[in-house]
Amino acid sequence: MAESITLDLKQSFGDLNECVLVTDADRKIVFVNKAMETLLKTDADALVGATTERFFADPAQFETMAELYQSPADQRHRRAHALELKADDGSSISAEVVSAPLFDVDQTLSGLLFIARDTAERKALESKLSDIALTLEEALDAITEGFAIFDAEDRLIICNDQYREIYAHSAQAIFPGNRFEDILRFGLNRKQYDTGGLSDDEWLQERLDWHQAADGKVLEQNLGDGRWLRVSETRTSSGGVAGIRADITELKHARAQAEAAYRNLSLMADNITASVTEVDTDGRCVFINKTGCEWFNDEPQNLIGTRLRDTLPWKERETVRSLFEQAQKGEKVSTEVSFHFPDGIHRECLMSCNPRLAEDGTVEGIVVLISDNTDRKKTERTLAELYAITSTRELSHEDKIAEILRLGTEHFDLPFGIISHVIDDHYTITHAHSPGGELVPGTSFPLENTYCTLTLDANGPLATANAANSEFAKHPCHELFALETYIGAPLLVDGEIHGTINFTSAEVRKRPFTPADIQIVRQFADWVGHEIARQRDHQALMDAKVNLERIASVDDLTQVLNRRAFLERANTEVQRFRRTKRPFTAVMIDIDKFKQINDVHGHATGDEVLKLFSDVIGGALRAVDVFGRVGGEEFCMILHNTNMDDAMLVCERLRQKIIEECQLESVDQTVTCSMGLAAAAREDVEFSTLMQKADTALYEAKSTGRNKCVAYVGEPEKAAVL
């Protein structure tokens, strides 16, 4: 080749990382780059002009490569050739070589260009990977479960011999590269699987869905020959699926035998209303009857193997632990325990722990019997408390009824308690107990919309713990108020129907009502009826007494306190002042020129003025203040907890209010008033002394022009005028 071409080759390939070698048509080397010099462990001067034969470790490969010169357009130029070369130092080189023909301007072959790559490292890596794969296969074969990995395209990558043995009917289809679905179909066609009544396509789709989910959940797979497999599949980081198959046939058979034994034992134990369980020495449940499952609020399969006592509050767990420790020593123990069970019911129980002994005398389990004594003990407590409530003198009539309603809600475990009064077709709540005060006394309903109409029709106690599944479901109350639980009884007062007492809830009661509950609500009704009758008699006496007291203490015309009643209250205020030192102010009030009103307009008009005057003043005072009529047109008031300065402000406001609001169209003069104020002092032992001081100040107000407020300051001439 021309020297210019060689120069071009150096410029193009001299520093290239790939190994480049160029020959002429006679297979003589005309160019090598630095990378090729390094590969062959020689230099360009030693190579140029020599043939390539010296570098072939196998002469036959040299002869084969000669065909490339004879057929320059052959497709072999486009393929890589694996050659074994030898370097100048005699070492062997594994290389991958590709070639390209070189032509002159006449399209005559002038030589070949070779690019070589050292494949020693790749072969070493392939060898290492092969060793790793072999090790992996050996490791997989050491696993007792079947194991397989599928790639992201769901083609088998690798599996162990156990996997093929488990699916023996599908073994021919279990080879690398085959799709998971194709392996399944192969097995289906040979009855490999028990499809459980599904068609092959339905079963296949379900299995593929599970396989694609690959979420690690366990699938129990039934094979056609009766074997059972536990299948667990998870997604790999590369998007494939890795799965493990374990033969659980013996486990399934053992489980079936255990379930049969459990059913036989349950058949006997489930007829017992008490909870019957057996636990091992670690406290884990190995058997539980139907009642126990209801109390612990779960299914047997979920409770067996767990520590039942862990579901109880910590104090109750401590009690159970103490009993177990005694039973584990071989002692039979029993005690009364209060349990809050997971079903939400609090039970008073008798708990017995009976150790089960092995042949060598050691304890291998504990049989636990828990009997529910709640109804008996609750009834005893309720009757005792009812007697205490009805016999005490510490509680009022209203307090006793409130306590009975509270006691009833606690006894029946219901949130609402009501005493009603029924008149004709109207039902009115008179007393109520509810968690948030939802039931308001005075609320009325049509009687026909309440369950109590059924109680009154029955003429005795009535109850339901699940209205939706009883005759109560047809009643309007169930639709209107959705009450699922009800127990009630008629109330008789003096032999006549007064109403009902009842306890209700919107929730279904977990415990059915017992005959003892019916008797309890009957006793509640009897006592409340008796108490209402007694209270009626008492109230009649009290009303008569109040009426007499009112007549004796209230002024007939103005309906404010008369002089006697006012002075009694006033002296009480003086005693309170001497005891507590809390100030108060006495105020004497006189209507100005009242005689003129009577003389000009008559006494009837004067009476109207007195009544209007009393209403205006009385309506403006506080409940703690005292106001009364002490003479014809004279009034007196006591301003509670008020010193002279504050009292002056109050009196001035009242004086102005009289001018604005105490006028009659029939009276042509302006109605005004004068006031005299006296603050309580240490020397005021009787109210009469203070009243005299206020009267002195009043005289000063009237004598100095009327329609003003004057405070007593010691001497009349020194009185302060506002």
C-alpha closest to that of 24 among 138, 128, 129, 102: 102
Q: Provide the sign of the torsion angle of the four alpha carbons 283, 284, 286, 290, taken in this order.
A: positive
Tell me the per-residue pLDDT of 345-395, one tens digit each, with 9 for 90 and over. 888 999 999 999 988 889 999 999 999 998 888 889 999 999 999 899 899
Q: Is it the case that residue 717 has pLDDT exceeding 60? A: no
Tell me the per-residue pLDDT of 109-137, one tens digit each, with 9 for 90 and over. 888 888 888 887 777 777 776 666 566 66
What pLDDT does residue 522 have?
Answer: 95
Would 3-118 and 554-721 be classified into the same CATH topology?
no
Quick one: which H or E segment has residue 523? helix 515-553
Q: Give me the mean pLDDT over the 695-702 stretch.
A: 94
Crossing angle of helices 644-661 and 603-620, in 10° steps, is 130
* Domain covering 133-247 in this structure, CATH number: 3.30.450.20
Q: How confident is the model at residue 262 (pLDDT cuts 50, 70, 90)?
A: low
What pLDDT does residue 498 have?
Answer: 94
Is 3.30.450.40 the CATH classification of the domain at 377-538? yes
Q: Give me the mean pLDDT over the 144-153 stretch.
A: 89
SS3 133: helix
What pLDDT does residue 412 have?
Answer: 94
Q: What percent of the chain has pLDDT over 90?
A: 55
Please report, as a single letter, which amino acid is at residue 503.
Answer: F
Average predicted confidence (pLDDT) for the chain: 88
Q: Give me the mean pLDDT over the 695-700 stretch.
A: 94
SS3 668: coil
Cβ–Cβ under 8 Å, residues 218 and 224: no
Q: Give me the mean pLDDT over the 573-593 stretch.
A: 92
Number of other residues whose CB lies within 10 A of the CB of residue 608: 17
Tell me the per-residue pLDDT of 600-638, one tens digit each, with 9 for 90 and over. 999 999 999 999 999 999 999 999 999 999 988 999 999
Tell me the per-residue pLDDT of 174-226, one tens digit each, with 9 for 90 and over. 999 999 999 999 999 999 999 989 999 999 999 999 999 999 899 999 998 99
What is the C-alpha separation between 722 and 648, in angstroms, rounded? 8
Cβ–Cβ under 8 Å, residues 283 and 291: no
State in Å, rounded, how far the first CA of the chain is from the last one: 139
Q: Is it the case that residue 337 has pLDDT exceeding 60? A: yes
Phi, psi of 349 (to 5 degrees): -125, 155
Cβ–Cβ under 8 Å, residues 171 and 163: no
Q: Is it the case that residue 77 has pLDDT exceeding 80? A: no
Q: How confident is the model at residue 523 (pLDDT cuts 50, 70, 90)?
A: very high
State the residue for tokens 């399934």.
252
Q: Is it the case that residue 138 has pLDDT exceeding 80? A: no
What pLDDT does residue 267 have?
Answer: 73
Q: Let me know if 151 is exposed, middle or buried by CB neighbors in 10 A (0-12, 13-18, 19+).
A: middle
Task: State the pTM of this model.
Answer: 0.40
Number of other residues whose CB lies within 10 A of the CB of residue 457: 10
Q: What percent of the chain has pLDDT over 70?
A: 93
Q: Which two tokens stand for residue 507?
A: 């929730």
What is the C-alpha separation between 555 and 564, in angstroms, rounded? 10
Q: Which two tokens stand for residue 331?
A: 């002692």
What is the C-alpha separation between 408 and 396, in angstroms, rounded? 18
For 46-75, what is the HEC assignment? HHCCCEHHHHECCHHHHHHHCHHHHCCCCH
Crossing angle of helices 515-553 and 563-580, in 10° steps, is 110
* Domain covering 272-368 in this structure, CATH number: 3.30.450.20
What pLDDT does residue 109 have?
Answer: 84
* Domain covering 3-118 in this structure, CATH number: 3.30.450.20
Q: Return the domain boundaries, the chain.
A: 3-118, 133-247, 272-368, 377-538, 554-721
What pLDDT does residue 10 have?
Answer: 80
What pLDDT does residue 716 have?
Answer: 45
Please report, as a single letter, which amino acid is at residue 700.
Answer: E
SS3 468: helix
Tell me the per-residue pLDDT of 7-20, one tens digit each, with 9 for 90 and over. 777 877 777 888 89
Tell me the per-residue pLDDT of 643-689, one tens digit each, with 9 for 90 and over. 999 999 999 999 999 999 999 998 989 999 999 999 998 887 788 88
Architecture of the domain whose range is 554-721: 2-Layer Sandwich (3.30)
Cβ–Cβ under 8 Å, residues 307 and 366: no
- Maximum Cα–Cα distance for the chain, whole Å? 162
What is the C-alpha separation between 8 and 22, in angstroms, rounded? 12
